[in-house]
Every structure is written in C-alpha cells, then in structure tokens.
Structure 1
Amino acid sequence: MHAHRLGIFAVLLAVSSCTPLENEFRSQFAGSPDRTWIGPDYFANRLLDWELKDGRLTTDEGRQAKPMRTVHLLSKYLSGEEGTFTMAVRTGSVSGKTQSDEHTWTGFLLGAGGPDIDFRISVLVHHWSSRGGGLFVGMDGTGRIILRDNENPNSKNGSRSDYTTSDWPEIIASTEEEGRALIRDVRLILIAVPSAAVTGAASAAGGYTLDVSAVNPETGERLARAVFHNIPAHYLSGTVALVSHRSPDVDRSGTLSGADPEGFDYASHETPGYWFQDWEMSGSKLVDSPERTFGPVMGVQYTLSDNILKMTAQLGPIGSDDTQKATLELFTDNRWEPVGSSPIHPNGFTSSFRVEGWSDDRGRVRYRVGYDLLEGGSTIPYYYEGIIRSVPANPSEFVLGALNCQNVSGGDGSWTHNHIWYPHAETSSAVEWHDPDMLFFAGDQIYEGGIGGIVRAPTDEAILDYMYHWYRFVWAFGDLMRDRPTVTIPDDHDVYHGNIWGEGGKAAVGDYSPSSDNGGYIMAPDFVNAVHRTQTSHLPDAFDPSPILQDISVYYTDMTYGGISFGIVADRMFKTAPRSRIPDAEVWNGWPQNPSFDAAKEADSEDFVLLGKRQLDFLDSWAQEWKNDTWMKVVLSQTVFNNVATIPEGETSGASIPSLPLPQAGEVVKGDKLAADMDSGGWPSTGRDRALTIMRRARAFHVVGDQHLGSVVQYGIENWNDAGYGFVVPSIANIWPRRWFPPIEGANRVAGSSWYTGEFTDGFGNKMTVHAAANPEHAGIEPAALNDRVPGYGIIRIRRESRDISFEAWPRWVDPSAPGARPFRDWPISFNQLDNDGREVVGFVELDGPVAAGSLVSIYYETGEHVYTHRLTSEVSKLDVYESGVTYLVTVRTPDGTVSGQAGLIVRLAD
C-alpha cells in the first residue's frame, strides 16, 4: 500500500473511536417507493430532473444544456472546523454504458457555500461554476478519478446552454495510479484528512488531502485511484451533494451516439445521466443539522373567516405507492386531538382541511399536519407544527403585512447572497418583528425563469418545474405563514406569463407574439389550476365557484377577520387583451407602438373589461354586506388601478429602464413622459372607474403589488381625491424596476414632500394623487443590483377606535428594530376611513332620531342604487349625501341587531 494511503488510514483510525453517531449518514433509497420527491433529507436541482426509481436515485437529464445536476444533503454538512471524513456511493450510467469521454462525470460536490452563506442558497448550487460553488470530486466518463473546481471565477454563469468542460478547471492529482473504472457500476470512496497530518509539510497548513478511489462494488477490487494534497480548507466547509454531469451516452466524437459529429445537437439531445445508491459518510467534520430538513410537509397556509378554518398543506411530489393522505391535529386539553384527514391532490400535491364552527373567542391553538413517509422499508411519521392565532376581537391596531414579487437572483452569478437574493432572510425577519396579524402576498410569488430556465411542456413536467420554484417561496416564508392567516393570490409570472390579459380563461392562441397579446392563458388548464390550488385553496370559499373557460378555477372571495372584511379579486383573470381591440395603437406586449396614438383619449371603450361582471357583482354585494362586527373594508388584488410610471421621452415601452443610470437620492430627473402600459390597472379606464366606484361605496382602501415601485395614490374618478387610497407595496426583490419621474409638477403638492408627488393624470387620463413613490436610486448598499431597485415590504396599520389607516413602505435593508429606523422617504402615509370616499358633500338627510355608535348605516337612492355603507364611530342624527334633488332610503342596524329603515328622505343642503 502507498505510504500516503497508510498515513491517511492512520489518521482516520485515530479519530474514528470518538466519532459520535450523529456524525454518520446512510441513505435510504433502497426500499423507498418510486417518486419524484427524494425525501426530507435532500434538495434536488432541479426537482423534475431526479427521481427515486427501483431503489436508486436516478436522473434522466443528461443534456449538455443542463450540466451539473445535483442532489444536496440537508441533514448533514461539513463544518469549518478541522477534522476528517469519509464518503462513499455506488453509482453508474443509467443506460448501462461502460465508457464515455472526459466531458461527463459522476460523483460528489463538497463545500458548497460555507458558514457565511445561508444553506438554502448553497443547496441550489448546480448548472454553473462560480464563487461559493464548492469542489467536484468523482470520476469522468473515461473511468478516471478527477477533481474539478466549481468556483471558477472566469466561468460563464446563469441558466445558459453553452457551457464547456473548461468552465470547471481540473485540479491535477498529486499522485494517480494507472487504471480506469467502468462507469456502468462502480463504488466511489473519498477519504479526507488534514494534509499536515499526512505529509507533515508546513506548506500544507490548513489544507486537506483527498484520497479518492473507484472500486468494484461486488469484489472490492480497486479500479482507479488518485490522491490530492493541499486542497484549500474552504472547499471542505459547506453542503455536500451528489452530481450527475451530462450524459455518458454522448461524446463529442459522436462515436458512442452514432451520430454525425458535425451536425449533432449536443445541447438539446435528451439522454440519461447517472444513478446512485448506498450514499454513506462519517467523520468529525460532519455536522448534524436536522433543522435544515424540508418536508414531507413543506409548509402550511390557512385562513379563518366566518367561523371556518381552511388550511392547505403543501407536500412534495409523492408516488403512487406512497401514503396518499395527510392528517390534521389540534392540541387541546394537553393532548393532540385528530381533526380529520385529507387526500393529497395529485395536481399540485396539496392536502386541504376545513374545520367549521371555529369560535372567534377561541384562544390560540397549536396545530400539526402529519404525514407517514415510507422510506427505506419503514414508515416514519412526520409532523409540521404551527399556531392558529386568537382572532383579534377588539384590536386597538390591526397590522397587515404585505409582500409581492419574489425574484430569486440577479447580479454577478455567484452562489452567494450577492447573486442569490433568496431566501430573503432579512425581509422575513423584519416582517416578523412587526408581528402582523395577517399576511398578504399579492402575486409573483415565483418567477418562471429563476435559476433553472423555463419548462412549459409537457404539462406534468411544467407543473414539477413550477413546484421547484414554489417550494423555494414556501421555504423562504413558511415560518411567517405557519403562525398567522395568509392571503396569497397569483399574478402573471406565477402562471408563466410576462403579462396576462385573462379574457375569462380562454386559451392564448393566435397569430400575435408574444402569445399573451392574443389574450387568455398560455399554459394548459391543469397547470393553471395547480397554481391556483397551491396558492389559493386555503382562501374562504369563492363567491361564485363556477369555473371560467377551459374549466379554470376562480378564487375571488371575501374574508372577515378581526372585524375587517377583505374583498379579494383577480384583476387580470377577466381583463380584455388590447392588441386586437385597438388596432390603431399598434400594441405590442401592452404598449402602444404608434407614436401618434394618444392613449389618454383613444385607448378606452365601454366594452373593455377590467374585473369583469362576475367580480363587479361580487364587489357590489360585498360593499353592502357588513357581516357581524365588521368595521373596515379592504380590497386586495394584484395591481394598482392607475399607471404610476414614466418612461424616457421617445421610448415606446419600459424596456430600457433596467439599464438606465440611477439618480442620486432626491435628484430631480428630467426627460420622462407618462407611461401608457396596458398591463397596468390604469387600463381600461372605464373598467377601472366601475371598480373604484363600488369600492368607494364601502369606504375601502386598496392594497396591491406587481409594479416593483412602492407607491401610494389616492384615486380620482370624476375629480381628484374623490375615491379611495391605493398602496403598492415594494417588491421582495426585482430585476425590472419602474419609476415615477413626471414631466410636469403635481398640483397641490404637500409642503415638504418629494418633487414627484401631487395631483396628476396618468398616461390613460385617469386622475390620481401621488403621495409617495420609492423610486430606484443609488442606495449605496450591497448587493447594489438588489437594493438599488428599492426592494422591501409593506406594513398597514388599521386603528379600530379612530378608523385611521397608516401605510408604511419599508426598505429591505433597514432593521426596523434598530433605534431611529425609518420607512422609505415620504412614508408613513396616514388617512381616515372616511377619506376613501372623497365625493363633495352637498347636504345631508335627517334621521328620525339619534343613531348609536357602532350601528351600521346604509344609504341608497330610492331607485335602489347603493350610495354607501358605514359603521358609525359616534352617535349621529344625520347622514351626509353627495347629490341633491333626489330622495334617499336609509337602513340602520344597531349593535343589538335591531334593523330599521326610513324612506323618502329629502336632502337638506349644506351651509
């Protein structure tokens, strides 16, 4: 035996006797059912690339365009402290090929990330080499032992397809034995010890020696071996993973593929990669990390409304032989009580629960969702726990946390926080500090590109691709959602659109490009319904659950919680697509390309739809029905009902904005014009006005996301400030900034506020008062690619006694618990519930007698048309009205439930 080999074994023997059991790991692939989801100990990149099959972990993804497929271990990682470890796995080519070339390999990834990088970033490492990527150790297609650097600073990066083997530079072995393994079936063994303990060389201080061999798994015969000295210690600190790189079935000579090497499409040729089984490791460098495991229940969302608890548990893609149900238990009388079980839906892998009769005075209750996982021939119970909060009965202040637009990455391509902005730990921690009573995610919980590219077909693979994105969202914000009610609604990117005009669910087919310009949904109905199921199935029952075209589900509904009624609508599901309806505008992707087209005068029609009749009927009913002790109304949707954006003069879209120079804080920017983006809620104007008119009757304000430009407007319909307030909360993270640099000065600007505030009309002629806008600017905070685009979140404070509302837009980089912490400039914006109806009061109607505080009053024209409904904060004997020369009908419901009415009321004019 080689002297170095003896030295390595001596070191391992010296430490093996004191290695605790938690420093060991053995995979349980054998005996587990076939399924896509590997198990709670693993994170696969990508989800759809891997599966458990016939007792092995295997991948059929071997295309050149999809290199470095990885499965990271969650329950163990490599410590940054000095130590030793061994790792072994049995691996081979899925197809049974015995030999290939140096452009394909199988083995281990060591040291992805490290102590300063969130492990949820590190376990994403795959596809490309960059800082934080770790070290590949294994065997190439020729059967040779290799080390390759997965932290190459000169490598290409991103989900591109043109990677070459040189993007992973080879690290030359110190010693290498003659011999080649056959890649059909081999056992790889890695032994790692500090180099100083082996060689005694001073230059080895802090480095490691890796002894890597390939043996016949049946006989133990060594087939190949190489030893590498002085490997820098940072390569052995972080997560570990299995790697399948490209396919052994294709080499660049074409000899194994049988194809013409000149015309062969290496990038897209679909061939399988490698399989793995019996993954084992032990040693003092291994750290036990059960808190990092993920699944089988990935997360839970719930709502509580009208004494009904609805809950959706998100599970992984299980197999047909797995347990097909989950259970819900509540902790009462010091023990867990079963509430029920629910089947796991195969389209989205959710389990939904419903508990009726939940009393509002019921206190805080612990819950857990259970699942019996079949793994390694055993059945193992797993539980995911959370809290059903006490319903805020008489809150002095109700706090709503609002977020949207979770982009995962941008910047320099590294496997660090500088590029991977997920899991947004600073955002979730900041929101947690505010301790909101409820959460609202306004859309774009995922972006279809992400870090792995886009899969649109076939539908089953596209759903798995979506789940890969969705699981990251759940992992990032699950700890917030598990302990408080959450409203989540999808937007365009969630259903794999850049923009969407849903047109009632039709299929987006036609001659236009992009496909979304045809109107309708690009993706198959099963895909859309999977998105709706994972994101919205926990919402209160839909107002009218009848599906739209293509049998696509709907989710518009109301939720009453803590005395606040939330009207939840989908402001793109029914929306008209503009391109074919306004030919003179020459619309492309929602933007008029005809420079002579005047969007403020020519873009509207009575026939164009924003919310659609079904949702307008819902809002009309919701505005009049104030259940129980409801004292406030709030509308939640995807986007603001104005176009609060500008673009450079001469441009016909906002495409240039991401690359424009950023201004300094407070700098006045000239040369922009009003945007006319028909993806915005400012179009169509008539549809917008219809919605706002109904919302105004409920004195409701509006909370949205989508625009990436945190802003506050007060809507105007006939006049400025005659309707409610709208709050666009900042994005979690974005790569597509918008800005508001108006070409004219706003009227009636509040003294001391920013130069771009005041009264304006937007690009479609809609009236609005801009109170605040968090414009992109040099934040001076790294990573600049993230923070210069002003990410953050929204906090809405609603005070019951005064009915005052406060909007706060918080920067992502600010710790709200720090002394002197402040939201963005011009925030908070505060107003009263009554300010959401800014119509001019012309007079009043006198009531028969005083009406007590807490009574619900509704006023109608005698024709039956609703004027407004409001719960009184003080005793009144008259009610304001906005039109004279007509008679009114008033209904009153007092706090004790007595209902009375007065008809034929005549207006007394105001002084």
Structure 2
Amino acid sequence: MTRYIFLALLPCLLLPSPASGQQRNRNMNAKWPFDIHQVAIEDSIVFAPYTVHNGVMKMTVQLFPLPDDADRDVVLSIKEGGEWKEIGREKVSEELMGDPQGELKRWNAHFRTEDWDSSQDYAYRVTAAGGKSSYEGTIRRDPIDKKEIVIAAFTGNSNRDRRLKPDIIANIKAQDPDLLFFSGDQSYDHKLHFQAWLLFGLQFGDIIKDRPIVCLPDDHDIGQGNVWGENGVKAPDPTGNDGGYFYSTQYVNSVQDAQTWHMPDPYDPTPAQRGIGVYYTDIKIGRVSFAIIEDRKFKTGPNGVIPQLGPRPDHINDPSYDRQAVDLPDARLYGERQLKFLRDWATQWDGVDFKATLSQTVLANAAHRHGKYPNRLLADLDSNGWPQHGRNKALVEIRKAYGFMLAGDQHLATVVHHGINQFGDSGYSFCVPSVVNYYNRWWEPLEGPEHKIEGPLPDLGDYYDGFGNKMTMYAYANPDEARRNKYGGEWGERAAGYGLVRFDTGTRKITMECWPRGVDVTAADAEQYPGWPITIDQVDNYGRNATAYLPTLKFADGKRPVIQVVDETYGDIVYTLRVPLSTFQPKVFRDADYTIHVIDGDDKQSLEHVTATRENSETLEVK
C-alpha cells in the first residue's frame, strides 16, 4: 500500500472502533467509508481471490474505479524460468452494480485458465491501467502429498470496526493454512457492498494473495438483516422474513459475482427465480473434499408460514409454544437441488480421504441469549435448526460421506455433535467466532442435559435445542467481560476470533482450534478459548449406533480403498468412505443383505449378497 492510499484510508482504518466509544459513521454516501475515486492510479488493484480445482484456475481481480482515460485491460502473468509470461488478458467489467448501487460499476476482471498444472507453485502478477498498477502473489500447488491439510475459517466482519486486522494477518501467516474460508457477512454495509468489498480486500488481501479462498455471501452482504431466499422470490422489505431477496437481482448477482466467481464452477448453474445466480459446488484441497453449500438461498421464510410467537416473525419467546407445531415437512432448507448435489458429492472419493461441508451456518439453534445478556430467546428461525425436517434431510446426506461441517454466522463459537433420532447419530460441526462480534450471543440453557459431559466448561452434554433437535455441546465461547485482549481491548470480552481446522490424512483425525483476537499464536503462552482444541476421529461423523455388522474386510498389500455399502432391499446407499485402515468392519443399521462396492482407483469389485448379523466374526479377504 503506497503512502498516498494509506493516508486516504487512515481515518477509517486506524481510529478507535465504536465499541470503545467512537461515534459510528452514518454518512452512507458513495464516498463512505473512504473516497473510492481518490486513489492513486498505481494502487488501482485491490486484491485477487482465486481457487484451483480439477485443473482449472479461476481468479477475480478487484479494482478501484478507474479514471476515464485509464486503459481497461487487466493482464495476468505467471513467472516461468525467471521471466513473466502473459496467460490472460481481460477487460475490466463496467457492468452496473444495480439498485441500491446503480451508479457504481463492478470494476473487476475474471480469469479462467484450464489445463492448469497444480503440481507446482506459480508466482503471478496482475497489471492494470496500462501497466501502471501491479499486484503480485502466489498460486499454490495442490498439497496432495501433505499429511495435514489446514483451513482457516472466519465469519462476521462487522462494520463496527473498520480498521485493518494486523493480529489476524500475523497469525494466519504464522499458521500458514492451505485454504481460507469466509462463511459470510464479509460486508455489513447493506447498501454499499462495493465499498465494503474494497475495504475487505484491504483488510485481508495480504493473506488472500498467496492461498485459495472460499467466500460465501450471507444476509448482510446482500443488504438484509436476515435472508430466507425461497429460491429467489422478491422480498417485500429488507427484513427478509417473508422469504426472498429485497434488493435488485442485479445487485444480488453483483455481490455474488464479486465474492464467488473465482470459486469452482457451480454444480448446476441453473439460476434461481428472477435470474438470481447460484454457486454451490465443491473444491478439493490436497486429499480433502469440501462441499460448498448455499444454506440460505432455498430456505423457506417464516412469516405467514407459522404463527408469530415473539416480538418478530423469526424470534420465538412464548414459553408455551409447541416445537413440533413449527416443524413443517414442506418447508425447505437446502432445497432438493442441493440435496441432490450432496448425494452425488458423497459418493465421489477419487484422491480423497476426508469430506467436509462449508456453509453459512450450522444445523442447530445453539444460542439462548441474544444481543444483550438479559435478552433470552427460546428459538431463532434464522438458525438452521429450523425447519427441522429440512435440517434432518441435510444431516442424512452429509453423514453418508462421514462429513464434518464448518460454518459461522451465529456470533457464538461452538462445537456440536448433531443427532436426528439419537444424540450424536450424525456429524460434528464447528461454528467459528466472528471477526468483529458486535451482536453477542450466549449458550446458557435453562434445563439440564439429558446426559452430562465433564469438561472445562459448564453445561456440556446432550441437549434439545429450541426446536427440539438433538445436539451434544462440546465447547462454546460465551462473551465474558473479564476477558480482554491486547488488541485495543474492546473485542476480547465479546468472544471474537477465528477458527482453524486440521485434517490429518494419516491418522484420519480432525482437530478444531478456536483463537481469540489479539493472541500471538507464536508465543509460548498462547491460549485458545477454553474448551479448545478438540480432536475427533473421521468416523465420529456418522455416530449412529450399529444394529448389525458386515464381515471384516481385509485388504491386500495394506491398501485403503473406498467402500460403498448398498442396502439390497431398497437399493439405497448407506454410506461411502475411504477406509482408514487396511482392515475395516462396516457397520449397518438393520439385518439385511448388502452389496459392498470396493473401489481402488480404476479398479472396482462388488461383493454381493453379503449378510449383516448382530455379531459378525467373519473375515473377507479382498485383493
């Protein structure tokens, strides 16, 4: 960042945040939070998020508005043999953002390169404005041989603190994750996404430039307090509780274009209603496959669907309400399109040891107090604990892949083991803390657990959430006035921070870390939030108790192939998994005959009419 642009942005990047007494800037004009038109031409390029997947590299280059006389070509080059080689040239997009930012243009350029060699790192350079502006970084190789794949996860970059994030940047550089995941609310400036996206790039660009990033827009990004997308219908107002999107299709698509175009191509690009685009897809990093979910776009809005049971249609605080009465079988969550995608994704294991989902939020209502401590809420329809039928359908598909779930949005870090019919019969989720947590939430149940877990925190164990869903709480990070950190002090007690997840492809263990703001992770005394780290086994993500077992499979030459268990009575896939050891006994959930498909690269064999029994001591040698 040059001295010119640094001085231009100094007021919004370095002043104390409103949480520590600074009056919040309400000047919502096109020049706020800084004058986007007063930027030196050499600083025109802000940042360049990218991904590489299945031999395709995609990158979006985001620029400040260019002056009328500036060249509109954006050039992408990589370094080969010590020389820069041009591999792409695109015109910067001057498509309008759309209402409420109709006067502004997108000012970005998209690059797509096929037949990408992902076996090596490439230094890249982007130039714009006739070469006057330049931006450099590294497109990383696919870490296919790396034993531990690390993902850093963030959520909730509230506009209550517009400063740079030096504590996060320093820590992420030290921890050096393989993938960055921003789960939503990168922008809280509802009508000013373009400006907020530029600021996001200035805040996080120093870590984005050298590693792939998955970025999911959520409600605040597209200008609403909450969003229940209902497949793209028009919402009557920006509260969103009737379902749909309030601002123009052009604006919603402009937000998605900025935040998601660089991700792998959508699984099914068919737009939702009114031409609103979709982006759900998957990405493989090393030997970990991530399903990228849009868990808001198809969700049913609550207003008029269920009776209002609180101060607003999405908040329930009537102690007499019937949880089952709000469980509507026809209400959607992920929607049939994404459930189909998950079924397909769950069966694809080529070069994969782990499966995990990346979504805006978790499949539970895991908060009891909202906003200020006295405000208790029995159930929040914005959480993905509702609708219960939709939540259960999603868990059924995810657990068939032994999928781990990573998300954000809830302003409260948690680790939950989810259950449908039994506590813990599905997968684990990690909801990461907000980067800037202006709206506090607390885990503080009124009732005791069905089963208590001893640990470093109170109130751990088996609970029913506000919708009657089964959930087992393993850790949470409540706001605490006694907890203050070294980064200005104001975000410590609000339980702000970020998450880190480590996938160990050797041991098949998953470790979750929860880091507070202001902590120096390189210090010998660096501490995570109480309750973390937490380590689980991959197979814990289908925690359903077996009622029968198939014979133990013993694979020749120490191989660890993929197995797919199919119920022959119904033709249903029970689950698909790359076995963690060369000896593995598949569990099943009823006495029946099964087919076991054994897949090792291009080789596939099927063991048919295999009978499951309650106590099965048989061993099958598989070559």
User: What 5-or-longer segments of structure 1 have no aligned partner?
Assistant: 1-39, 43-72, 78-118, 133-152, 163-241, 244-272, 277-289, 374-378, 410-419, 449-453, 456-464, 648-653, 661-671
Q: Which residue of 1 aligns with 2:57?
A: 309
State the 1:619 CA deviation.
0.6
State the one-letter code of the partner of 2:341.
Answer: F
Distance in 2 of aligned mates of 1:596 and 1:294: 62
Corresponding residue number in structure 2 for 1:866: 573
CA distance in 2, matches of 1:514, 1:521: 8
Question: SS of the residue aligned with 1:605?
Answer: coil
Q: Could you tell me which amino acid in structure 2 is paired with residue 157 of structure 1?
A: Q
Structure-2 separation of matches of 1:553 and 1:587 = 33
1:433 pairs with 2:433: no
- 1:750 maps to 453
Q: Is the 1:774–1:790 Cα contact (8 Å) retained in structure 2?
A: yes
Alpha-carbon distance in structure 1 between the residues aligned to 2:580 and 2:70: 56
> Of residues 42, 54, 74 in structure 1, which corresponds to 2:5?
74
Match of 1:12 in 2: none
Q: Which residue of 210, 213, 217 corresponds with 1:486?
A: 213
Q: Deviation per CA, 1:649-699: give whole Å up to 9, x if none.
A: xxxxx3544xx5xxxxxxxxxxx8663000001111110000011000000
Q: Structure 1 residues 158 and 308, CA, compared in 2 at 3 Å: closer, same or farther?
A: same
Partner residue of 1:392 out of 123, 143, 155:
143
Q: Report Cα offsets for 1:327-357 as digits up to 9, x if no partner.
A: 1111011101111112222232221111111
Q: Matched residues in 1 for 2:16 and 2:333: separation?
A: 46
- The 1-side partners of 2:44 and 2:421 are apart by 54
Q: Deviation at 1:892?
A: 1.0
Q: Distance in 2 between matches of 1:594 and 1:750?
A: 29
Inter-CA distance 748–585: structure 2 relative to 1 (3 Å threshold): closer
| 2:114 counterpart residue number | 356
**Distance in 2 separating the partners of 1:837 and 1:380:** 53
CA shift digits 1:722-747 (9 cap, x unpaired): 11110011110121011001112324
**What pairs with 1:113-128 in structure 2 (closer than 5 Å)?**
120-122=9-11
Deviation per residue, 1:845-878 (Å, 9 max, x gap): 2378646532111111122211111112222364
1:532-571 pair list within 5 angstroms: 532-571=256-295
Contiguous gaps of at least 5 residues in structure 2: 96-105, 617-623
Counterpart residue number, 1:265? none
The match for 1:579 among 293, 299, 303 is 303
CA displacement at 1:750 relative to structure 2 = 3.2
In structure 1, distance between residues paired with 2:242 and 2:293? 23
1:771-801, Cα deviation, whole Å (9 max, x unpaired)? 0000000113464542211111101011011
TM-score computed with the length of structure 2 as normaliser? 0.90
CA distance in 1, matches of 2:489, 2:585: 56
Residue pair 1:516, 1:589 contacting (<8 A) in 2 also: no
| 2:245 aligned residue (521, 539, 543) | 521
Whether 1:370 aligns to 2:127 is yes
Correspondence for 1:608 among 327, 331, 334: 331
Distance 2:238 2:265 in 1: 34
- Where does residue 99 of structure 2 map in the other structure? none
Q: 1:584 Cα deviation (Å)? A: 5.6
Decide whether the 8 Å contact of 2:225 with 2:239 is kept in 1.
no
CA offsets per residue over residues 228-260 of structure 1, 9 Å max, x none? Answer: xxxxxxxxxxxxxx99xxxxxxxxxxxxxxxxx
Is contact 1:715-1:726 (8 Å) kept? yes
| 8 Å Cα contact 1:330-1:337 kept in structure 2 | yes
CA contact (8 A) 1:408 1:422 kept: no
Which residue pairs with 2:475 in the alignment?
Answer: 772
CA shift, 1:515, in A, is: 4.0
Write out per-residue CA displacement over residues 131-178 of structure 1, whole angstroms, 9 at most, x where no aligned residue. 89xxxxxxxxxxxxxxxxxxxx99x9333579xxxxxxxxxxxxxxxx
1:833 to 538, 546, 557: 538
1:721 corresponds to 2:424: yes
Aligned pairs, number: 596
Give the corresponding residue for 1:735: 438
2:493 match: 788
Query: Shift of the alpha carbon at 1:396?
Result: 1.7
Partner amino acid, structure 2, of 1:476: Q
Q: Which amino acid in structure 1 is aligned with residue 541 of structure 2? A: N
Instruction: Give the direction of change, closer, same or farther, for the CA distance of 1:508–1:345 in structure 2 (3 Å limit).
Output: same
For the 8 Å contact 2:44–2:65, the answer to whether it is kept is no
Question: What pairs with 1:97-136 in structure 2 (closer than 5 Å)?
Answer: 120-122=9-11
Letter in 2 for 1:567: A
Rounded Cα–Cα distance in structure 2 between residues aligned with 1:584 and 1:123? 40
Structure 1: distance between partners of 2:282 and 2:484: 42
| Deviates further, 874-883 or 527-536 | 874-883
CA distance in 1, matches of 2:94, 2:357: 32
SS at match of 2:498: strand
Q: What is the SS of the residue equivalent to 1:395?
A: coil
**2:90 alignment partner, one of 335, 342, 354:** 342
Task: Choose which of 161, 165, 169 in structure 2 pairs with 1:424.
Answer: 165
RMSD: 2.9
Please say if 1:644 is aligned against 2:366.
yes
Match of 1:407 among 122, 144, 158: 158
CA pair 585-318 structure 1, distance change in 2 beyond 3 A: same
- The CA distance in 1 between the partners of 2:271 and 2:94, in whole Å, is 19
- Give me the whole-angstrom Cα distance separating, in 1, the residues matched to 2:215 and 2:353: 23
> 1:592 — aligned with what?
316
Q: Distance in 2 between matches of 1:820 and 1:160?
A: 40
Q: 1:280: which partner in 2?
A: none
Question: What does the per-residue CA deviation read over 1:10-58, in whole Å, with 9 as the maximum and x for residues that have no partner?
Answer: xxxxxxxxxxxxxxxxxxxxxxxxxxxxxx979xxxxxxxxxxxxxxxx
- Deviations, residues 737-762 of structure 1 (Å, cap 9, x unaligned): 11001112324433333112111010
